[in-house]
């Protein structure tokens, strides 16, 4: 299984003119991996303008995935076991069709469209994710709003929204990976799985945050006493 460093080395080792053309076109790559229960590397292909969103997606894969409850991750065990070793994500702002993401039948991202020794014989899958659509997505209108009201104060609310955005990106990534691995599974069941993952992960985050907050309050009260 190649490491993120090996993929980065491969990208750097391409001919100078190829890298020059890629750099001038604004294309950038960020390589990361799941840290628990999954072996796939995730390669985020993005414009230099969307580096911040690419970073959020990488954080979701590296950190938020590891922080969700074991039982939520378990629902993707079989999918991630069978997932391509390299998952290429073309990060976009929007899609004309309005979708949050799609799986691709063929890998089109140039450096990954053909097999290379650096990939260690791993299969490659590709998808796109439209980050502005994901940010505006009303995933679960009722519970998202109900949770929102618990985080009304400034910085906590920003932190909540950042976390919410990352969990949405993660659930779209898992949803499209599900399509790649089981192309015949109906959209409805794939959608139910990814929404359940998002709902549970967000609820866990809120529960942990509320627990953390009440702990702080308890401590400051005991100091007064």
> Which of 25/189 has CB closer to Zn ion?
189
* Cβ at position 157, least distance to Zn ion in Å: 30
Chain residues 63-82 in contact with Zn ion, contact rule CB under 5 A: none
Q: Please identify the residue of the shown chain whose CB is closest to the bound Zn ion.
A: 187
Can you give the three-state secondary structure of 28-96, one letter per residue? EEEEEECCCCCCCEEEEEEEHHHHHHHHHHHHHHHHHHHHCCHHHHHCCHHHHHHCCCEEEEEEECCCC
Chain residues 160-219 in contact with Zn ion, contact rule CB under 5 A: 187
* Cβ at position 105, least distance to Zn ion in Å: 14
The three-state secondary structure class of 199 is: helix
Instruction: Measure the CA–CA gap between 109 and 113, rounded to whole angstroms.
Output: 6
Helix and strand counts by DSSP (H, E) for the chain: 10, 5
CA 89 remoteness from chain centre: 9
> Which of 77/187 has CB closer to Zn ion?
187
> Which of 11/170 has CB closer to Zn ion?
170
> Which of 104/116 has CB closer to Zn ion?
104
> Which of 40/178 has CB closer to Zn ion?
178
* Cβ at position 191, least distance to Zn ion in Å: 6
* Cβ at position 102, least distance to Zn ion in Å: 8
- Residues in contact with Zn ion, counted by CB under 5 A, come to a total of 1
Specify the DSSP element, H or E, that contains 116: none
Name the residues that contact Zn ion, by CB under 5 A. Answer: 187
């Amino acid at each position: 299984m190649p490491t993120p460093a090996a993929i980065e080395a491969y990208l750097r080792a391409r001919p100078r003119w190829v890298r020059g053309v890629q750099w001038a076109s604004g294309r950038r790559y960020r390589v990361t991996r799941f840290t628990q229960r999954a072996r796939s590397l995730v390669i985020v292909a993005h414009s230099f303008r969307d580096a911040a969103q690419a970073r959020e997606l990488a954080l979701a894969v590296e950190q938020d995935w590891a922080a969700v409850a074991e039982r939520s991750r378990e629902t993707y065990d079989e999918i991630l076991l069978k997932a391509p070793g390299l998952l290429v994500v073309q990060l976009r702002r929007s899609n004309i069709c309005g979708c949050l993401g799609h799986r691709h039948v063929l890998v089109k991202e140039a450096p990954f469209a053909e097999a290379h020794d650096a990939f260690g014989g791993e299969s490659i899958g590709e998808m796109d994710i439209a980050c502005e659509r994901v940010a505006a997505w009303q995933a679960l209108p009722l519970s998202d709003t109900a949770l929102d009201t618990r985080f009304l104060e400034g910085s906590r609310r920003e932190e909540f929204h950042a976390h919410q955005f990352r969990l949405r990106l993660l659930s779209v990534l898992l949803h499209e990976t599900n399509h790649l691995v089981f192309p015949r599974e109906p959209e409805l069941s794939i959608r139910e799985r990814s929404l359940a993952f998002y709902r549970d992960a967000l609820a866990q985050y809120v529960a942990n945050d509320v627990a953390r907050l009440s702990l702080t309050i308890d401590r400051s009260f005991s100091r007064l006493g």
